[in-house]
Structure 1
Amino acid sequence: MLCQGSLLLAAVVSLVSCFPRPFGVPSVPGVPSVPGVPSVPGVPSVPGVPSVPGVPSLPIPSLPKIPGLSSMGGGILEAIGLKALLRFLGILSPLPDVTSALPSITDLTGSLPNLPNADVAGVPAVKDSPVELQDLNRRIGKLEAVLKLEGRIQIVGEKMIATNGQDVDFAASDSTCTDLGGQIATPMNEEENSAVLEFVKKYNRYAYLGMREGSMTGKFNYLNGVPAVYTHWRKGEPSGKGAEGCVEMYTDGQWNDKACNQKRLTICEL
């Protein structure tokens, strides 16, 4: 467990160290106008030279984000949408803010509460230089690998599926996943259903899925209102006849319609 924790922390620190501070090409001021030469009796006046406009500043495009992750504002981890995910997974908790652990992004020592005795070597100062996207992708890949190793996330195609292990009602799960930049896990095929099932079996708790019953009784739609194209109902389900508007997954991967006010495992997809 200590080894896995150290791997995870090393991956996070490695990812943090590769981000520069935002930069751009500063604007070039314009050349002021030259006044004309006053007229001399009998000699026509010489018109002034018009001013030359300045060159506008050239912004540098923002860094690409991991698909589905939202930017949460300032900060190194927010720049790629990772801070919210790491908080959701409990990796940064109970630190109130990542800046308390990274005072100036130039020196990081000590240990995180969830990783006992995991001392972290100092991180060198980040220089104002372009980020090599290949190196960035490699570091993100390492972080994903460690999170997968510890069973914190599942990667299926373009989706990242994660849980914080918390049991809440449907509305709270929906809010949590939306704040993270995603939505409640919504299996679109057997492979995605199996990925969600991994968490359901690991925690031995049922989980809500990202579907609601539509205006027609027994017909369920995705959260964007589109009718569900993939289902995995248990035999005889749905059977709520309009009284059970949400969908839960059992520990065998099959689905059941359920009232939305029950406490179920929060599983998000990003």
Structure 2
Amino acid sequence: MALLKLFLIALLLLQFALQLLDGAEPQNPNCPAYGLPGRDGRDGKDGATGPKGEKGEPGMNVQGPPGKAGPPGPAGEKGERGLPGLGCQGCDSISDSLKSEMQQLNAKIAVIHKLLGFNTLKKVGQKYYVTDGVEAAFDVGMQYCKDNGGTIALPRSASENQALLKVAVSSDITSSKNPFIRVTDRETEGRFLDTEGKQLTFTNWNHGQPDNYKGRQDCGIITKSGLWDDVSCDGQHPIICEIEITLT
């Protein structure tokens, strides 16, 4: 036991001697061996840059929304003069001529459509005699034919007179009454003209006709024999229209 105490005293003396050699004040043997922790020191300087890392995975190819439109740029330089156009002289007049021809053609087509709607139709030269068996007074018949693109038929030769008679007979309209023809003396009694006031170039009056019976017969008709007679313009007679179509 005495030997152990001597050993401890020797350790304390040795520790005291080492502190004197390091310039440190001797510690109180009754105080703890270590002091309280000091404050954190300042951050050290940045170390050297490390090696480059490996290449990362490619990102997603997604287009972002369009940005706002920027301000307009400055005007560019004036370009060179272009080549002359391929216009032609007189094209406007040609165009007007084509339009006019198209209008005429459309009008003729419309008349042809009306012709095909009649029950009886006969071509005579450049015109057609047509009828549906309609009966009317002379003026009403004139308007009816006008609405269909023509006028009341008027033969201007013996062949046309015969053709008109065939239309009247084939349509069976002469079985009861005789059709009007487009002659009248309403302007001057006894002087029969066509409705345009022109002289007749062909007539086929029956013997003793026209006679203006009872002073009331101012319009002409064609009878079953092909001869002409005068009757009242207000009477109801079959209407045969004359429609002319020139295709050239």
Shorter-chain-normalised TM-score: which range?
A: 0.5 to 0.7
Aligned to 1:83: 113
Out of 230, 235, 241, the position equivalent to 2:207 is 235
SS in 1 for 2:201: coil
> Match for 2:130: what amino acid?
A
- The partner residue of 1:155 within 95, 103, 123 is 123
Select 1:224's aligned residue among 196, 214, 217: 196
**Alpha-carbon distance in 1 for matches of 2:186, 2:199:** 8
Letter paired with 1:268: C
Counting only pairs closer than 5 Å after superposition, residues 173-252 of structure 1 correspond to structure 2 as 173-202=141-170, 203=172, 204=174, 205-240=177-212, 242-252=215-225
Letter in 1 for 2:227: Q
What count of residue pairs does the alignment treat as equivalent? 157
- Which has more radius of gyration? 2
Give the conservation status (yes or no) of the 8 Å contact 2:129–2:167: no
Contact 1:153/1:162, CA 8 A, preserved across alignment: yes
* Structure 1 residue ranges, 4+ long, deviating more than 3 angstroms after superposition: 52-66
1:120 is matched with which residue? Answer: none
Structure 1 residue 169 displacement after superposition? 1.4
- 1:218 corresponds to which letter in structure 2? G
Change (3 A) 1:64 1:159: farther
**3-state SS, counterpart of residue 247 of structure 1:** strand
Q: Alpha-carbon deviation of 1:220?
A: 0.5
Q: Residue 269 of structure 1: CA displacement?
A: 0.9
Alpha-carbon distance in 2 for matches of 1:190, 1:268: 18
RMSD: 3.4
Structure 1, unpaired ranges of 5+: 1-34, 38-45, 72-77, 91-151
Q: Map Cα deviations across residues 210-265 of structure 1 (whole Å, 9 max, x no partner).
A: 11114332110111101222111111111116521110111111111110111111
Q: In the alignment, residue 206 of structure 1 is paired with which amino acid?
A: N
Q: With the length of structure 2 as denominator, give the TM-score of the two structures.
A: 0.54
After superposition, the C-alpha distances for 1:98-146 in whole angstroms (9 at most, x for unaligned) are xxxxxxxxxxxxxxxxxxxxxxxxxxxxxxxxxxxxxxxxxxxxxxxxx
TM-score, L = length of structure 1: 0.50
Share of identical aligned residues, percent? 23
> How much does 1:197 deviate?
0.7
Partner SS state of residue 199, structure 1: helix
Q: Secondary structure at the match of 1:248?
A: strand
Map of 1:135 onto structure 2: none
Q: Which ranges in structure 2 are unaligned for 5 or more consecutive residues?
A: 1-74, 244-248
